[in-house]
Chain A
Amino acid sequence: MRVDFDIIQQWVKPGARVLDLGCGDGKLLADLTQDRQVRGYGLEIDPIKISLCLERGVNVIEQDLDRGLGNFRSDSFDTVVMSQTLQAVRYPHIILDEMLRIGRECIITFPNFGNWRCRLQIAGKGRMPVSRFMPYTWYDTPNIHFCTVLDFEALCREKNIHVINRVVVDANQRATPAARLLPNLCGVTAIYHVTK
């Protein structure tokens, strides 16, 4: 079980209409459907992952997030989720606006580039970080817009986005006191629950 999925589960209201941007193999939506009785749709572009969604019986729409979400009506979803995808889109700030337009609430998870390991790799080795959580080389990666916890919060302030809840977990996927006290330094994955 991915810890961010665990926390997302708790933040989604039972019976909600959920849109999952970059839904992958559909696991989160399948769990939400079973445990929270949500009515969900996922957007995905990877044909293999789309096949896995079809196999699970999850509603999956083949759609490229970078080509916009104009086909979704305003306030048409209770919750819009984007899990570990923000760093892979062309215009994260526009996607964020769109998510808040489409959904009453949004849940966003992303890898924290401010984590001390990343800082050590850059400061010490002078190389771009490669880790278990970010296993790609700089030249061949879907992740084109890394940010830190502080960066994300600055963007939220700039856009007047209200943060309802935040959980930052460490490499062992636990919300340890260190990750709670120094999220930008100790956190590996950040999970935000935001609204307009």
Chain B
Amino acid sequence: MEPRAAAGSVGIVTPRTQRFEQPLELACGRTLPGYDIVYETYGTLNADRSNAVLICHALSGNAHAAGYHSPADRKPGWWDNCIGPGKPIDTSRFFVVSLNNIGGCAGSTGPHSVNPATGRIWGPDFPVVRVRDWVATQRRLADLLHIERWAAVVGGSLGGMQAMRWAIDHAERVRHCVVIAAALKLSAQNLAFNEIARKAIMADPQFHDGWFLEHGTLPRQGLAIARMIGHVTYLSDELMGDKFGRELRSGSFAPGSEADAEFQVQSYLRYQGDQFADNFDANTYLLMTRALDYFDLARDFGDDPVEAFRRARARFLVVSFSSDWRFSPRRSREIVDALLAAHRDVSYVEIEANEGHDAFLLPIPRYHDALQRYMEQVHAGLAPRSVADAR
């Protein structure tokens, strides 16, 4: 296989905020009276507006998927290893759109925003949002950008659920659907972990039934525990063993030593939890995990995913990771089997990786190679066919 071009960065990017005045009727029956969407774009939209790729983010994602906001930034966007010139989602070919979903806490309207009807912060009153509502807002953004049809809608985890929803709700507007480490719906085990995370937040005395901002405080403890639980489910047993083992950070088991021994994994989890608690909104975490819980692609189709996928027109790429136990390869194979039975075009790769669910965010060579080759095909398919080709 020929070597790939050296990959680059999209450089400095500036997020944009788009106001949508038209109220949005949500799946829960309530109406959101206008909202803001923060989004970023990378690359250039071509003349026939056919090379646009939508990135759907996962549980704690945001619009900042690639590049840097300023030269002083230490870290690039959350999927910078995958998006950029020469990278699998190649910004020298594609016009990439990445947004923060409503209900989020990274610029778009969410529980931390002010409810225009009351003048108070939405807090726990923010409506329940489902995956289909996000897709509806993404569709409005596509309209605004005059993108009639996405070359591809791409998402990992909860993002993959949005990508599938796109392919069904707006079949004619999606050429390719890339579903990474996702599932048709959560398992009972998934639901259970989400419930423990939510309970940790709600049990924090600083939560104040979700009105913590009005009380001038944050449920840091609860949010940190929620993140720690989540984090364990994102990693594999094998990876944690490799990374931390039973290494001690402090203390010892030497006879006569009374100080508590602290394992490396404890301090790692605490750091992850604390970092998250300082940067994430607790109500958003509750909302996002509920959106995950409620998602069930086949619910509207007699619980038959085949029936659901019969509406799709896109070609699909489904990717899973061997050590992912949150959305295991088995869950991805359910997607693939339903697509096969629905006579849809689909390719499936199961990547050998010991990083667990987190693998979908990492530059694992075979994963990125497969995605790159697939996206090259997506791009090749955009070229206007010559008369000779069409014959």
Residues of A that sit less than 8 Å from B by CB: 17, 39, 41, 47-48, 50-63, 71-73, 76
Q: Are A51 and B370 in contact (CB-based, < 8 A)?
A: yes
Q: Are B343 and A17 in contact (CB-based, < 8 A)?
A: yes
Q: Are A55 and B341 in contact (CB-based, < 8 A)?
A: no
Q: How far is the CA of A73 from the CA of B337 in the complex (A)?
A: 9
State the Cβ distance, A104 to closest chain B Cβ, in Å: 15
Whether B240 is near chain A, meaning CB under 8 Å from some CB there, is no
Question: Chain B 336-378 against A: per-residue CB contact (8 Å), 1 yes, 0 no?
Answer: 1100110101111110000000000000001001100110110
Q: How far is the CA of A60 from the CA of B349 in the complex (A)?
A: 8
Q: Are B366 and A47 in contact (CB-based, < 8 A)?
A: yes
Instruction: Give the chain A neighbours of B380 by CB distance below 8 A.
Output: 57
Can you list 30 residue pairs at the A/B interface with Cβ under 8 Å?
A: A39-B343, A39-B345, A41-B346, A50-B349, A50-B370, A51-B1, A51-B369, A52-B1, A54-B317, A54-B370, A54-B377, A55-B376, A56-B377, A57-B380, A57-B381, A58-B347, A59-B315, A59-B347, A60-B347, A60-B348, A61-B336, A61-B340, A61-B346, A62-B348, A62-B349, A63-B348, A71-B337, A71-B340, A73-B341, A76-B340
Q: Are B373 and A55 in contact (CB-based, < 8 A)?
A: yes
Q: Which chain B residue lies CB-closest to A45? A: B350
Instruction: Give the chain B neighbours of A51 by CB distance below 8 A.
Output: 1, 369-370, 373
Q: Which chain A residue lies CB-closest to B337? A: A71
Q: Which chain B residue lies CB-closest to A58? A: B347
Q: How far is the CA of A123 from the CA of B349 in the complex (A)?
A: 45
Instruction: Give the chain A neighbours of B337 by CB distance below 8 A.
Output: 71
Whether A57 touches B343, Cβ cut-off 8 Å, given contacts A50-B370, A51-B1, A51-B370, is no
Count A-B contacts at CB 8 Å: 54
Q: How far is the CA of A71 from the CA of B370 in the complex (A)?
A: 23
State the Cβ distance, A98 to closest chain B Cβ, in Å: 15
Instruction: Give the chain B neighbours of A48 by CB distance below 8 A.
Output: 1
Q: Are B336 and A54 in contact (CB-based, < 8 A)?
A: no
Whether B333 is near chain A, meaning CB under 8 Å from some CB there, is yes
Instruction: Give the chain A neighbours of B346 by CB distance below 8 A.
Output: 41, 59, 61
Q: How far is the CA of A62 from the CA of B346 in the complex (A)?
A: 11
Instruction: Give the chain A neighbours of B336 by CB distance below 8 A.
Output: 61, 71
B residues 317-343 in Cβ contact with A at 8 Å: 317, 333, 336-337, 340-341, 343
Instruction: Give the chain A neighbours of B333 by CB distance below 8 A.
Output: 71
Q: How far is the CA of A61 from the CA of B370 in the complex (A)?
A: 12
Instruction: Give the chain B neighbours of A56 by CB distance below 8 A.
Output: 377
Q: How far is the CA of A159 from the CA of B347 in the complex (A)?
A: 33
Q: Which chain B residue lies CB-closest to A76? A: B341
Q: Are B350 and A62 in contact (CB-based, < 8 A)?
A: yes
Q: Are B370 and A57 in contact (CB-based, < 8 A)?
A: no
Instruction: Give the chain A neighbours of B345 by CB distance below 8 A.
Output: 39, 59
State the Cβ distance, B366 to closest chain A Cβ, in Å: 6
Q: How far is the CA of A60 from the CA of B315 in the complex (A)?
A: 12
Q: Are B341 and A53 in contact (CB-based, < 8 A)?
A: no
Instruction: Give the chain A neighbours of B343 by CB distance below 8 A.
Output: 17, 39
Q: How far is the CA of A57 from the CA of B378 in the complex (A)?
A: 8
CB within 8 A of B340: which of A50, A55, A72? A72
Instruction: Give the chain B neighbours of A72 by CB distance below 8 A.
Output: 340
State the Cβ distance, B380 to closest chain A Cβ, in Å: 7
Q: How far is the CA of A171 from the CA of B227 in the complex (A)?
A: 64
Instruction: Give the chain A neighbours of B347 by CB distance below 8 A.
Output: 53-54, 58-61
B349, B366, B381 interface centre (most CB from chain A within 10 Å): B349
State the Cβ distance, A56 to closest chain B Cβ, in Å: 8
State the Cβ distance, A132 to closest chain B Cβ, in Å: 25
Instruction: Give the chain B neighbours of A59 by CB distance below 8 A.
Output: 315, 345-347
State the Cβ distance, A103 to closest chain B Cβ, in Å: 13
Instruction: Give the chain A neighbours of B315 by CB distance below 8 A.
Output: 59
Q: Which chain B residue lies CB-closest to A73? A: B341
Q: How far is the CA of A48 from the CA of B376 in the complex (A)?
A: 16
Instruction: Give the chain A neighbours of B317 by CB distance below 8 A.
Output: 54
Q: Which chain B residue lies CB-closest to A71? A: B337
Q: Which chain A residue lies CB-closest to B348? A: A61
Q: Which chain A residue lies CB-closest to B336? A: A61
Instruction: Give the chain A neighbours of B374 by CB distance below 8 A.
Output: 54
Q: How far is the CA of A56 from the CA of B1 in the complex (A)?
A: 13
| Extra 15 A-B pairs, beta carbons < 8 Å, given A71-B340, A73-B341 | A17-B343, A47-B366, A50-B370, A51-B373, A54-B317, A54-B349, A54-B370, A54-B373, A56-B377, A60-B347, A60-B348, A61-B347, A62-B350, A71-B337, A76-B341
